[in-house]
Structure 1
Amino acid sequence: MLRMNKRLGLRSIRHKLMIAAIACILIPAVLAQFIYTTLTKDAVQRQAVSNAQDSLLLAESSVSNLLVSMLNMANYIQTNADMTSYFKLVVSGNIESRDAYLNFTDRKKILEQLDSLTVSDKSYITVLLTDGTAFTNYSTSDYNPLLLMEEPWFERLDGLKWPSSHWIGASPTVFAYMSEESPYQLSLARTLRRDDSRIYGYVVVTVMEKQVRRLFEKLSSDQEMMLLDENDRILSSGDTSRIGSTFADVGASAGRLHTSIKTIDGERYLITEKPFSFNDWKLVSKQRYSEAIVDISSIFNQIFVVQISSLAVFLLILLVLLRAFTKPLVQLGRTTSSVQRGNLSVRSGVRGTDEIGRLGFLFDQMLDRVQEMIAEVSDTQARKRRAELKMLQAQIHPHFLFNVLNSIRMKVMRGGDADSAKMIGSLSTLLRMTINSEADEISLHEELELLAHYVELMNLRQKEKVELSLDIASETMLVRVPRFFLQPIVENALIHGFNQKAGLIRIRAEMSAGALHLSVEDNGVGMDEAAVAALNRKLQRAMHAQGERRTAAAAPGIGSGTAFSGMGLTNVVERMTMLCGGRFSIAVESRKDAGTQIRVTIAEERMEAHV
């Protein structure tokens, strides 16, 4: 059988459990990994965008501080009453009428204030009045401030409305000693106006482009930071060669922080931009997408490796546990195969407190019981064969006995002794039904006929006669019942209930609710409650014994073995239980000096009726 199963490709329960366990783990794991990869991809992208924006915001804060400081310088000069009053005085020409020393001290004070406006990095401040007078915080030998009027953007200053400023993009550095260190400069220009809006001067604040570039280098290592003007021309970058060129990959930020992913020359880049709120310039960062996600992807990859390793270890542990759990089942299967081949002496040896251990224990018990039953059946068959042989040897004896009894009865009748003839006839009939009948079951009317002959014989040995009354429903007459099951009950009533006195035994039979209900009632001496309870308990124990022969106790209403039948009331109960099982029941009721009633019920399933 096992070879056939292998040829058919059938697997054991262990393999099925292992395959099911692996499938139940791997399928959700693969599905979860697919979802995890998809969500991870989105999460990595969101995190990369967030990191790029954080870096840009940090750079924007520093660059914004530099540019705002330029605005603050211009605002300070424009709003300082002392400075603007002196500038107006110079432009009006009234400065010549003032004391020379006072003019010198005022001019010196203004120059000191201009010098004090720059603290850390140098900012170049120029105040150019319309009469050609200039105030600077740098030496005019380095650069002539009047040259500012020749710049192409200077003419546009007259069109500025107060307090607007003109931001001048990257232009070549005009200070010779700074041109090598910072080839480009960034400037802010603003007009100085009277109350009637007439211009009386200009303020120009200049910083070196290297100051912005230095901020980029401090804040970003893997991002290319750029400062762009309103036309997307590069004003500052880590690569100075790109200054002045147009950055074509910038998107439309719509006045807010914005990040887009663009493919440039076959490679994906994160482009992040943030406009400034005080001018039209904006800060842009460009970063390879692969570099932006490398750290985040590394973390997710490490998590993935840990998950896969954990899954592999868990599967290995699960397979080991399944193998250990199913080992008793495999042993049971091998034992079953051995039993199938006829080896009943094999035992599984599987024990335990779980269901499999219990199954192995019961299976071994079943094999023990099967061997015992086989031995019992073999012994019974042997005894049966011996009994049949003895029966054949003694078959002539009953016929000889019946013939002799009939001869004696005929002779007694011819002698005129009718009572003796009747007694011999009843005895002959009783012996014939007892000895010749081979069936375990007879019809109820035959059982009652047997009882009638039995009572007649018993009355001959009694001092006073006992009357037998039958109240039998017609539908019960052909019901098949065990042979001699009522005789011991009647015998107990005759011997123990009446004790050689006259009396009445009433037998009733009826069919009700699919069962045969019989009652044997006498008006004898009866029993007290304790004796009745003891008898019922004894009968219940006998019903559970299923065939074990026991010697009944010597109590009223309880029959001990008789010389005729050798069966007591307890033996009847055991015999009926073996034949009928749970479909048989018996109950005893009795009262002292009022008689005893025994009720017997046989379920319809055990009954066979002749039609």
Structure 2
Amino acid sequence: MKSIRGPHSIKTILSIAIAVVSISFTLLVSAILYTQFSSTIRENATVSTREIVRQVNANLNFYTNDILTIAGYARDLAKQTNDLPRFEIEQRLRSIVDSRQDIVCLVLFNLEGEAVLSTSDAKLRSAKEIKDQTWFTRALGGEGNFYFTGPHVQQLFTSSYPWVITYSQQISYLDEGGETKYGLLAIDMNFWAVSELCQNARLGSTGYVYFIDNNGKIVYHPYQQLINSDLFNEDLDAVQEHIFGTFTNTFEGRERLVIVDTVNNARWRIVGVAYMDELMSGLDQYTSVMFLVLAFCIIITILLSRTVSAYISRPIRELERLMNSVERGDFSSPPTVGGNQEVAALSQTFALMVGRIRQLMDDIVKSQEMKRKFELDALQAKINPHFLYNTLDSVVWMAEQNNTEGVITMITSLAKLFRISISKGRDIITLSEELEHVRNYLIIQQIRYRDKFEFSISMEAGMENLPTIKLIVQPIVENAIYHGIKYLQEMGHIDIKVFKRKPGAVVIEVRDNGVGMDEQKLSNILSYEGPHHKGGAGIGVRNVHQRIQLYYGSDYGLEISSELDEGTLVRLVIPEQVPIHPIKVASS
């Protein structure tokens, strides 16, 4: 398959042209400026550069001393938990953080990685994640030991990822019981607070200042992005050979003046790099004019190349945007794009394909909706006869015992139960109606089993009119009676609770103290391939699980936990939806 070469060829040509102009510019300027060096100018440039680096170092030392002062204040407050409540200590620390834009947060952790004090209300990461971070491990080893990290993405909170430098120190503090504990104090500083100290330092036109740690790794560099992209190199080997002082070297064709100084508190080294050809003065007018002309040519070339490439590639980018929109599922607008003939033809073909896909998807959606409705009706039909058979079996047994009052009570409850079951043909009822339905069922079963169990039903206020598919709780309760409480020697208990679970879910919890089930039965009860328990255990439960998932999706359904001789807990999870009006059913 042939590739489209138009835009790519032009971009390649423009890239080569820019590279040639830039290299020519660098060689020309270097050749002119190298001839103008003199020892006097070199000495003056060295003194000036050294003073700038020392000033940056002094500013950084002042800043780190300020952080140490704040750390000392926090360390003293951590030892006053007997005199001051925790919220007041945190309030004092927050007042410091709020008054300074350079400090992101201050947190005191115990040695297990759990937060003791924090100036932020954001959710922290797990203790294991905290303990595994470099600033935590490097600061361990004795009270007073502290460590400054290099710039990194903050990993303290689950919802915030600023670019920070972390100060960490092992300190002692008093817990709420007055006992002395050891922990790690962490202060996260905005990376820009340190970077501004270097950005304001001017070492010629392209000179710069950067920091390295005691292992020779870069902590801050103004061209860090270019270094990461292998577009810029730094001569770290030469810096490693000079722990402190001044030296000159030639790197990548340019002579450089390098000043190395140490940063006391942070255990870093500050390195100032100035290009000698820029520090030199006395250049003649011709060199200045050529520099301006070459700079102007580069700017014009870059702007021109960007304009031409943007004009050529704009239709393709627009078509790509439409393709991404279709990929995300947006078939609403026809993907037509103007431009040259090739792009227009491709756009028309893509539009025809999208239209066909949209039509096929509509057909599939209609087919799936009909299939789901048929499956719901089939599952509903399987549950109702199963329930009716067991209920009428109980009524027959009561009649054989000549328990007229019990039969009347059971028939009355059965009538109420079936009025809710019919629900005027609707599959959706309110939670209060669903609980009323299962309450009548439990009254019937209580009479049948001669008060072998007792039950309770509770629901959080304001949830009465939330919608649910009907007849999903009764099969769970039926299963609890027949396969759990029925075999107990003591009194059985069935507790039904309805409450909300964030985000946006409703939970109907059915708990019993029956005989429970082993892990094998528990793993098979919701499985479509797993065997049914002897006597029908799991049929109704499995049908309810299928109904919920068919109606609401695979994110909802049943959650079951059980232990032998302890009982079973079943949670029916459905989505929280807009409240509905109860169904008015005429009473007899």
**TM-score, normalising length from structure 2?**
0.36
Of Structure 1 and Structure 2, which has the larger fraction of its residues in helix?
Answer: 1
Q: Higher relative contact order by CA 8 Å / sep ≥ 6: 1 or 2?
A: 2
**TM-score, normalising length from structure 1?**
0.35
Max Rg structure: 1
